[in-house]
Structure 1
Amino acid sequence: MKFKEEIRRRLVDHTVDGVTHQIAQPYKVRVPVLPADWDARAMKAVATLVLVLTGIAIAWSTVSIGQLLQGGPGYAAAALFDISWLSVLLLEWMARFDPSKRKFARVLGFILVGITAAAIFWHGMLAGSVALAVVGAMVSIIAKALWMAVFKHVDGQLSAEDRQWVAAEMSKANAQIAIAGVRRQAATAEVRARLELLAAEKALGELDEQDANTDEPAAVLEPLRVPLNSANSVPEQGLSMAELARQQLTAGASNKDAADEILRRLPEANPDSVQATVRREARRLTRYM
């Protein structure tokens, strides 16, 4: 077995003039040299070659389909053909542990590369060359086939039991992601509701402050003992003038009707104060309607 020396560092105490600090001290250590992983190197070489061939396929199809689309902006549209099946190729790799998703990506990749090959074949036929049509169409198909061979080689096969275990783990992770999203939405809605309530309380406070600056007598804001007439079935209760106005307005009475009802129940009240209280309560109610 071969060995090599590596320089590493470790912390040691170093004292100068009675003061100790830790410093990094270099030291040498012999470590074994791992044998070359020729499988990994071969896989990197194959992937590099396939990437180069894919670049050639992209250039070929872009030029062919771009000319088919009259050049200019047609070249940008032509790039869409190869970019589409290459993107699905990446999705197929990402879904290698999910058979259903991987199957969908693989089938869609075949459809997209088939469309690309058909467009290249059409361009060759319009150019009057059968060889150009057939060989040009095979370029993208060969690139797709090479990527399938690479995926097949590096694909880790799972048993039925392992696939079920992986599916259960993915389901649990997806459930946690869904719960997190729902909680985030609920928290956002709760914050928005609190902001709406704070804005409403602020507006109500400004309205109360505005009403407090009016010339209404302070006595009209104090709770009054309202004697109800005998025709009303509701027992006697302590109500303020504002509460009486709110009851009448909530029941659908107009401002004038509400004021007349309060004057009927409180014959000693000031009509101007009653009208002001009714208007104030009407503004308070309509603010939230």
Structure 2
Amino acid sequence: MKFRTETRRRPVEHTVDGITHTINKPQQVRVPVLPADWDSRAIKAASALVLVLTAIAVVWSTVSIGSLLHGGPGYAAAALFDVSWITVLILEWLGRFDPAKQKFARNMGFVLVGVTAGAIAWHGALLDSVALAVVGAAVSVIAKLLWMAIFRHVDKPLSDEDRQWVDAEISKANAKLAVAGVRRRVAVAEVQARAEILAAEQLLNQLDDGANTAEQIVVDEESTPVLASPNTVRRQVEQAPSIAELARQQVTGGASNKDAFEEIMRRIPDAKPESVQATVRREARRQTRYM
């Protein structure tokens, strides 16, 4: 067995002048060297060769089908044929622990490779070249079969009990993913609901503030405050000089408070009675102070 020397560090206590600290001290350690894994290297080499062959098949089919579709955008459409069955190859590898998924991907791969091979054979037939039709179509099919051979070699067979155990573990992991997804969606929905509720509350507060600002309190010195609507307040503000002037004229002319009130209400029918009464009483007190 072969060995190699590695430098590792281990914690040791080091004391200087009566003060101890833990330091990392280098140490030479001999460790065994594992023998080369030729099986793994062989699989990697085979995969590299099949990958090169797949690239050749992609180029060949793209040129052939693109020419069949009269070039230009046809080459982009031709790339779809190869991309499709190569994508299914990846799905087949990802589904190696699920026989149903792996089988579906494998069968779909055969269908897509068959379509690609058929298009290449069609192009060769249009060119009256049997060799081009057969060999060109065989390139993609051979690449597909070689990938199947590699997957089958790499795939580790499981007993029925082990496969059921693996299925149970996968099911448990999928359940956790599903729960996580549902919780995430619920959390997002709750956040959106809270945001909408806060927005609605803020809007209601703004409307309430606007209403409180628009509503004015008409204060009668001898009565309780009365809330007036914004339209009434605006009308009273416009009529306020007229009411005050009329009240001054009536009181100065010797009219009683009742007569002054009735005269003002006759001239301004839509005036607020409480406001008119307050104005008349205020003018009457002012005239009394001046007398």
> Under a length normalisation based on structure 1, what TM-score does the superposition of the two structures give?
0.71
Give SS of 2:216's match.
Answer: coil
State the identity as a percent. Answer: 67
**Residue number in structure 1 paired with 2:99:** 99
Q: Which residue identity is paired with 2:99?
A: P
Cα 1:96–1:185, aligned 2, differ >3 Å: closer, same or farther? same
Q: Deviations over 1:104-151 (max 9, x none)?
A: 111100000000100111111111110110011000000000000001
- d(CA) in 2 for partners of 1:136 and 1:167? 41
What is the 5 A alignment of 1:116-155?
116-155=116-155
Q: How many residues align?
A: 224
Larger Rg, first or second structure (1 or 2): 2
- d(CA) in 1 for partners of 2:98 and 2:112? 21
Q: Which residue identity is paired with 2:102?
A: R
- d(CA) in 1 for partners of 2:272 and 2:50? 92
Runs of 4+ aligned structure 1 residues displaced above 6 Å come to 16-19
Is 1:71 aligned to residue 61 of structure 2? no
Give SS of 2:35's match.
Answer: coil
Q: Which residue identity is paired with 1:115?
A: V
Cα distance, 1:167 vs structure 2: 1.8
- d(CA) in 1 for partners of 2:72 and 2:14? 71
Single out whichever of 111-120 and 43-52 deviates more from structure 2: 43-52
Give SS of 1:141's match.
Answer: helix
Q: Deviations over 1:154-205 (max 9, x none)?
A: 1111222222222222222222222222222222222222222222222222
Cα distance, 1:13 vs structure 2: 4.7
**Residue number in structure 1 paired with 2:245:** none
- d(CA) in 2 for partners of 1:199 and 1:216? 30
Q: Which residue identity is paired with 1:137?
A: A
- d(CA) in 2 for partners of 1:220 and 1:157? 89
What is the 5 A alignment of 1:1-289?
1-13=1-13, 22-213=22-213, 214-217=215-218, 219=225
Q: Which residue identity is paired with 2:59?
A: A
- d(CA) in 2 for partners of 1:44 and 1:175? 35
- d(CA) in 2 for partners of 1:72 and 1:148? 33
Cα distance, 1:24 vs structure 2: 4.2
Q: Which residue identity is paired with 1:215?
A: Q
Give SS of 1:30's match.
Answer: strand
Single out whichever of 212-221 and 201-210 deviates more from structure 2: 212-221
- d(CA) in 2 for partners of 1:131 and 1:208? 86
Give SS of 1:35's match.
Answer: coil
Cα 1:272–1:142, aligned 2, differ >3 Å: closer, same or farther? farther
What 5-or-longer segments of structure 1 have no aligned partner? 222-270, 274-289
Give SS of 2:153's match.
Answer: helix
Give SS of 1:86's match.
Answer: helix
- d(CA) in 2 for partners of 1:204 and 1:150? 68
> Under a length normalisation based on structure 2, what TM-score does the superposition of the two structures give?
0.70
Q: Which residue identity is paired with 1:195?
A: A
Give SS of 2:157's match.
Answer: coil
Indicate the RMSD between aligned Cα atoms, in angstroms: 2.3
Cα 1:201–1:219, aligned 2, differ >3 Å: closer, same or farther? farther
Give SS of 2:131's match.
Answer: helix
Q: Which residue identity is paired with 2:93?
A: W
